[in-house]
Structure 1
Amino acid sequence: MTSQLSTQQCEACHVDAPKVSDEELAELIREIPDWIPEVRDGIMMLEREFKFKNFKLAWAFSNKVAELAEAEFHHPAILLEWGKVTVTWWSHSIKGLHRNDFICAAKTDKLL
């Protein structure tokens, strides 16, 4: 199922775009099981931690995520640490989750 999301493209997300409903969240999260819905400052986000053998591999992965973000014109938080990258997707304009976040999470998984 992840491949279905990973083949889709993000759409322009405006302030009035609908957030993912609870039902949609339950369905979409099954397609990206390694991602965790987190609420920070009242904003629902998708987060996943990726582990690597060293800093250089983590850095290279961070660069791939950044290239994906630019290609999709949808930008996550990327925390680069020694042997670890934490990626957090959410839609800033709607202060929550949009289908775009699930598409980008699935595409991030494909970068491994």
Structure 2
Amino acid sequence: MSGLTEQHCEACSAGAPRATDEEKRVLHKDVEDWDILDVNGEEQLRRVFKFRNFAQALAFANKVGELAEAEDHHPAILVEYGKVTVSWWTHAIGGLHKNDFIMAARTDLAYR
């Protein structure tokens, strides 16, 4: 696991720059299981996590919620029977920031 899990999110305002293509390429290497998707013109990191049942999926979603609250950076979380879909992006800038890659790495760690 990369050093991303040890980093913290920085405050990000509407004027903050989005991650450059080079930054995304480098950071994505540390969270390879995540897809970079364009959703309504905004890039997002998205990953589907599999579980044996709804209770395990819900417990994981709650862990992700706790991580999000601790960093004041919040994802979209979809909980279904046997799976959780997590999407990270920075709402204030309408795209990806280093914070999103940090939180994706932390989400991966919580899945272990």
Same fold (TM over 0.5): yes
Q: Deviations over 1:28-84 (max 9, x none)?
A: 101101000000110000000000000000000000000000001000000000000
Q: Name the structure 1 match of 2:20.
A: 21
Structure 2: state its 5+ residue gaps.
none
The Cα shift of 1:3 comes to: 3.0
Letter in 1 for 2:99: N
Q: Deviations over 1:4-31 (max 9, x none)?
A: 0010000000011010000111111011
The alignment's TM-score, normalised by the length of structure 2, stands at 0.97
Structure 1 Cα separation of the partners of residues 50 and 30 of structure 2: 21
Helix, strand or coil at the partner of 1:46: strand
Structure 2 Cα separation of the partners of residues 35 and 21 of structure 1: 17
Q: Name the structure 1 match of 2:47.
A: 48
Percent of counterpart pairs with the same letter?
56
The alignment's TM-score, normalised by the length of structure 1, stands at 0.97
Q: Name the structure 2 match of 1:91.
A: 90
C-alpha RMSD of matched pairs (Å): 0.6
The Cα shift of 1:107 comes to: 0.4
- Runs of 4+ deviating beyond 3 Å: none
Structure 1: state its 5+ residue gaps.
none
Q: Name the structure 2 match of 1:77.
A: 76
Letter in 2 for 1:42: G
Helix, strand or coil at the partner of 2:30: coil
Structure 2 Cα separation of the partners of residues 24 and 10 of structure 1: 16
